[in-house]
Structure 1
Amino acid sequence: MLNAGDVAPDFALPASAMELIQLADYRGQHHVVLYFFNKDHTPGGLAEAIEFSDRVREFARHDTVILGVSLDECLAHEVFREQEGIEFELLSDTEGEVSERYHALKKWEANGVVRYGIERSTFVIGKDGVIRHAFYHVAPKGHAAQILSLVQSLG
C-alpha cells in the first residue's frame, strides 16, 4: 500500500479523448486528486464521479485537478463523461499496470477463474509529487466533499 509521504508513482495513461495524460506534467503546478474506481455506469462509479464533477471549480480554486482511473476503455469513458456531464478527465488503465502500482488492483478467484478489479482508492498528491493522503476501501457517497476539505488545508 502507498501512504502519505511516499512519492506518487508516475504514469502516462490515455484519457477519454485519447490524449496521453502524464502525472509528471502537473508537478510544480497543481495538486492532483487521483482516484481509482471500478467501472463506468456502476452505482458507486456514477455517484463518485458526479460528486467530484460537482466540485471541479472548487478544487480548481485550490490549484487541484481531478483524475479518475478505471480499467474501462477510452471510448467507454467518453460516453460516460458525455452522458453524465463529468467535467474532469477519466483515464483508461486497461492493462491495470497503474492501478497495480497504486495497490488499487485486486485479484480474486471464483470457481477456478481468476478475476481482477479495482478497489476504490483515492490519493491526494501535492504539487511536489508526494502523496499527502491515501485512502483505500473508499465509500463513494460523500467522499468528494471529504477530499475537498483535505485539499483546502494543503494551501
Structure 2
Amino acid sequence: MPKVGDKAPPFRVTADDGQTVSLADYAGRNLILYFYPRASTPGCTHEAIEFRDLLKKFEALKTSIVGCSGDSVAAQAKFKAKYKLNFPLLADTEKEVIKGYETWRLKAFMGKKFLGVARTTFWIGPDGKIRKVWEKVTAKGHAADVLAAIQKG
C-alpha cells in the first residue's frame, strides 16, 4: 500500500459522467481519494453524503474529493444523482486503481471471507505525494476527520 511520502500511483479511469479522470488532473491541489466497497449501500452512502456536505470547506482549502469503487459507470451515475453528490465517482470496473492503491483485500463479514474493496482514504498533496492514509475507515464522521487533518496541515 502506498505510504506517507510515496508518490501516489498514477491513474486514469472513467468517472460517473463518462469522462476520463486522472491523477494528473489534480496536480497542484490536494486530492482526497477515497475508496468505498459499493455504491448505494448504507455505509458508502453515509460517507459520500458527509463528503458532499463538507465539499465547500474542502474547496476553500484547495482540496478536491474523488470517490472510487468497482461499480459501473451507470451505478456510479445513479448513486451520484440519487444523493446529489457534487464530486466525481470513479468506475474502476477493472480494479486498476483499487489494486494500484492496494485496497483490494480479503475481508470477512458474517463468518464469510471474500475479496473486496477496503474502505480506505488517501490524502494526496499538491506535489503528488501521499500526505496521510486512513485505513479501516468508519464511514460516520470520516469526512470531518479528513477535513480536520487538512486544516491542521
Q: How far apart are the structure 2 equivalents of 1:101 and 1:137?
A: 17
Corresponding position of 1:128:
127
- Percentage of identical aligned residues: 40
Q: How far apart are the structure 2 equivalents of 1:148 and 1:135?
A: 12
Corresponding position of 1:142:
141
**Structure 2 matches for 1:1-155, cutoff 5 A?**
1-28=1-28, 30-107=29-106, 115-154=114-153
- Give the superposition deviation at 1:151: 1.3
Unaligned regions of 5+ residues in structure 1, if any? none
What SS is found at the alignment partner of 1:55? helix
How many residue pairs match? The answer is 151
Runs of 4+ in 1 over 4 A off after TM superposition: none
Q: How far apart are the structure 1 equivalents of 2:144 and 2:19?
A: 28
- Give the superposition deviation at 1:108: 6.2
- Give the superposition deviation at 1:107: 4.0
Q: Which amino acid aligns with 1:133?
A: K
Q: CA RMSD in A?
A: 1.8
What SS is found at the alignment partner of 1:34? strand
Unaligned regions of 5+ residues in structure 2, if any? none
Q: How far apart are the structure 2 equivalents of 1:107 and 1:18?
A: 30
Q: How far apart are the structure 1 equivalents of 2:106 and 2:137?
A: 17
